[in-house]
Structure 1
Amino acid sequence: MKRYYCPNPEIGRLGPEESHHCLTVMRQKEGDYCSVFDGKGLELKVKITGTDKKVVHFEKVSQNRTNRSEDVICLAQALTKAKSMDLIIQKATELGVSEIVPLQSDRSIAQVDSESVESKTEKWRQITIDAAKQSGQNWVPSVLTPQKPKAFVDSLPRTAIKIIGSLQSEARPLKKILQETIGATKGPRKVVLMIGPEGDFTPAEIGEARAAGFLPVSLGPIVLRSETAAIYTLSTILYELQS
């Protein structure tokens, strides 16, 4: 069933962009059925009742609510080149992360200046909506505005399980770290994963993260691209949480 995003489905109509997608791209019409989700767990089966002034109006047929996992995953991803960053955000959404925090690492090739921060962040938020729409995720992660690694690590609660991908020699295998942290705890858990840019975080940034309680993990003998590291580590964390 075709699926559209509507943050306030109680109003009974799609926004301009989703209406355009529904009518022009998907070529749906009055009397057709589709699915509408609000990004906060609610999904409705609806019937299109009208297309007044190129706006799709609908009525609810049935509804389903998806409860969010008690475990929370936050991906703090250092800025990478545009296409790589878009891919990371897309796949993180599909995998079910709760929060995405772009980090302005000193080694990030891509940087976001004050003039473009709002447009960049809005673009990333739209990617999460599109990814959720395509994959069937009923929860859309929040995307924060970019921040410096130190400001981010200093803002976290002590109770969170904090992991940082690292190329340093003292980094321990991911599997062992997850067994000692996620595997040894019960109840709702917050896992924070930091993934660096091309060339890794600087030693100073890793030192700041470790001082805030982050555990450096190795992802194996092969140096992975940033997007590969993020997707691989998130998948492994999810597997461990669900075990």
Structure 2
Amino acid sequence: MARPPGGRGGTVTHRFLVPPGVLQGERVVLPPAESRHAAKVLRLRPGQHVVVFDGRGEEAEVELTAVSPRAVAGRVVARQGGVRPPVVITLVQGVPKGSKMDAIVRMGTEVGVARFVPVLTQRAVARPAAARVERWRRIAAAAAKQSGRSTVPRVDAPRPLEELWPELAGSLILLPWEGERSRSLGAVLREHAGASAVTICIGPEGGWTEMEVRTAVTHGAHPVTLGPLVMRTETAGLVAAAMVLYELTMRA
């Protein structure tokens, strides 16, 4: 949806991310990078209204009172309920090659994923550096701003898959796998219609090994099919996340 043009007196046009705690008071000062963007790129002026959110669910409409590249300040005029995904979705992603993880994080954030967990698997080739993780976190923050959600997804550092399983207890674990021919993701979701936390496990370009699938099943995972077509690793998780949100929150 296109945003309305900038203006004064209550027209809310832009979103800015601030650290947790900033919205506790009535006066808000944007961080340096956000201030520069507001003043130099967007050329906002005192009197304009923006939305400020802290990435953890707090959100407010703010009237700007001072604008400069060094600091942009404003006052809270209305606190509002932020937009949060109705189901907590964790996307466990076998680390793909190249920049594919960038797209996964960006579009996954727009779909409603709450947490991204890159994992090192038997067939994963990529071993991303720490700088890549920081890039993914910046992408998640930017996508949250663009999509209008009030929470910024958590992006974990890559780690071996086997270290993750104890953390997933209590979550409905879905494992799309080309070796599963009959049990669909939708069928499993309909059997767990009350699930509030769902984990989707997507393999890397080479897919899951049978050993990884067997291990996942011992930890409660449900191997599922997403349909007759073979999807790329950067596509499968987004499709699965959209299906989860539809089945658990919109289908009824």
Asked if TM exceeds 0.5, the reply is: yes
Q: Quick check: 1:134 aligned with 2:146?
A: yes
Q: Work out the CA distance in 1 between the residues paired with 2:47 and 2:70.
A: 15
Deviations 1:59-108 (A, max 9, x none): 11111023756632111111113432111111221122222111112222
Q: Quick check: 1:63 aligned with 2:79?
A: yes
More displaced stretch, 164-173 vs 223-232? 164-173
SS in structure 1 of the partner of residue 29 of structure 2: coil
Q: Work out the CA distance in 2 between the residues paired with 1:82 and 1:202.
A: 21
- Report which of the two has the higher share of helix: 1
Residue 240 of structure 1 aligns to which amino acid in structure 2? E
The aligned residue for residue 241 of structure 1 is: 248
1:164 aligned to which of 151, 175, 186: 175
Count, aligned residues: 234
Mapping of 1:185-224 within 5 angstroms? 186=194, 189-224=196-231
Mapping of 1:1-243 within 5 angstroms? 1-7=13-19, 8-9=22-23, 10=25, 12-51=28-67, 54-66=70-82, 68=84, 71-112=87-128, 116-117=129-130, 119-157=131-169, 159-169=170-180, 172-180=183-191, 182-183=192-193, 186=194, 189-242=196-249, 243=251
Is the 2:173–2:200 Cα contact (8 Å) retained in structure 1? yes
Residue 207 of structure 1 aligns to which amino acid in structure 2? R
Q: Normalization by structure 1: what TM-score? A: 0.88
Deviations 1:143-175 (A, max 9, x none): 111111111123321x32111111114662222
Q: Work out the CA distance in 1 between the residues paired with 2:176 and 2:41.
A: 41
RMSD, matched Cα: 1.9
More displaced stretch, 192-201 vs 43-52? 43-52
Deviations 1:8-30 (A, max 9, x none): 23461111111111112111123
Residue 84 of structure 1 aligns to which amino acid in structure 2? K
After superposition, the Cα gap between the structure-2 partners of 1:67 and 1:29, relative to the gap in structure 1 and judged at 3 Å, is closer
SS in structure 2 of the partner of residue 164 of structure 1: strand
More displaced stretch, 29-38 vs 16-25? 29-38
Identity of aligned residues (%): 34
Residue 228 of structure 1 aligns to which amino acid in structure 2? T
Residue 134 of structure 1 aligns to which amino acid in structure 2? Q
Is the 1:153–1:208 Cα contact (8 Å) retained in structure 2? no
Q: Normalization by structure 2: what TM-score? A: 0.85
Gaps in structure 1 of 5+ consecutive residues: none
Is the 1:93–1:128 Cα contact (8 Å) retained in structure 2? yes
More displaced stretch, 142-151 vs 67-76? 67-76
Q: Work out the CA distance in 1 between the residues paired with 2:118 and 2:166.
A: 15
